[in-house]
Amino acid sequence: MKVTTKKAAFSGLAMLGAAVLLAGCAAAPEETDNGDGGTASDFLPCMVSDAGGFDDKSFNQSGFEGLEAASEELGVKPITVQSDAETDYAPNLTNLVDQGCDLIVTVGFALAAAAGESAAANPDIEYVSIDDVVDNDFDGTTDSENIKPIIFDTAQAAFLAGYASAAYTKTGVVGTFGGMNFPTVSIFMDGFKQGVDYHNTEKGTNVQVLGWDGTDGLFTGGFEANDTARQTAQSLIDQNVDVLLPVGGPIYQSAAAAIRDSGREIAMLGVDADLTETDPSVADLILTSILKGIAVGVEEAVLAAGNDEFDNTPFVGTLENDGVGIAPFHDFESKIPAELQGELDALKEAIIAGDVEVTSYLAE
């Protein structure tokens, strides 16, 4: 069966880690003696977080790890600035421009507008924008030649997680909620629902999805682990969900607290990074995590810029190029149906082949 959708707008773009194609406008980094017989570049990479912070065990942290890895390889020390609110975005970018950054990485859809304005005003600085194509046209182009978008068709991976959740649930009710209704948040929720619906069609089940109807759903209004996020999770738990997908950095911490207080056996899905590995304190709750290759994508982009090979061609992570995926079941390996992993492997190949198509905002 096919899930009726549109084709990805960026099909055929370069795979993660593939050779860059276009040279950027910055001068080649100079090499200086670092004091131990080696050399270090004067290339200065920088990064601005969104309000989740660099220790969110998820989105921002993954971007930071990619920046750190590239900087170590280049022999440079990056500058990072954390945003605590939306009002910090533009001042933080100005701060980094004033410090002489050669490359500025912005983490998250919320920063896209400020990044676009900063890039337009500073054409000699290169930018990497995670989770947005900056001009919001989603057509593979950007308003400024000095911006490289890194985006992820996470609906494909969330589809697999939704299918797995439908196979796992005992109550027949699963739920999701997000931080804010951005396309880069709702894409998880939409793929999740599609995966559940596909399982219902293929297996004759009737699993309900709460928190997202395909157009709108439950959102906390921010990306902080707070009482609002906890109450939102509780509202779904009160409706008998036994699988819960919180989308929005640290808000999973509030969901985990609500799950533990409930005393019920409720599984949680992580997003962006494998939460079983990044936050062992919730490992016993994690069915699987919906992964983005943020760290690798950032590392590749920073290395390219540091080697005077900046490329503004958008990178789109998909199942085919391993830019998105799902984590192992870890502690839940013995709790899932024996046939599930084989079905997921086959489903992944069907999505890659186009036999099962998954709708996302990265479509035309």
List, in order of start, the domains of the chain with CATH numbers.
31-154+294-317 (3.40.50.2300), 155-292+324-353 (3.40.50.2300)
The string of DSSP letters for 67-85 reads HHHHHHHHT---EEE--SS
Q: Does the pLDDT at position 240 exceed 70?
A: yes
Bigger pLDDT: 161 vs 296: 161
Q: Which residue has the tokens 């839940």?
A: 332
What are the pLDDT digits (tens) for 78-107? Answer: 999 999 888 999 999 999 999 999 999 998
The helix/strand/coil state of 347 is: helix
Q: Which amino acid is at 152?
A: F
Residue 68 confidence class, pLDDT cut points 50, 70, 90:
very high
Residue 306 confidence class, pLDDT cut points 50, 70, 90:
very high
Q: Does the pLDDT at position 41 exceed 80?
A: no
The helix/strand/coil state of 359 is: coil
Query: Counting beta carbons within 10 angstroms of the beta carbon of residue 37, is it exposed (0 to 12), middle (13 to 18) or buried (19 or more)?
Result: exposed
Sign of the Cα pseudo-torsion (61, 66, 71, 72, in order): positive
Q: How much of the chain exceeds pLDDT 90, in percent?
A: 68
Mean pLDDT of 270-291: 95
Q: Does the pLDDT at position 1 exceed 80?
A: no
- pLDDT number for residue 363: 60
Residues 6+ apart with CB under 8 A from 239: 173, 175, 210
- pLDDT number for residue 255: 98
Residue 2 confidence class, pLDDT cut points 50, 70, 90:
very low
Q: Does the pLDDT at position 251 exceed 50?
A: yes
Mean pLDDT of 259-283: 95
- pLDDT number for residue 16: 33
- pLDDT number for residue 96: 97
Mean of the per-residue pLDDT values for the chain?
86
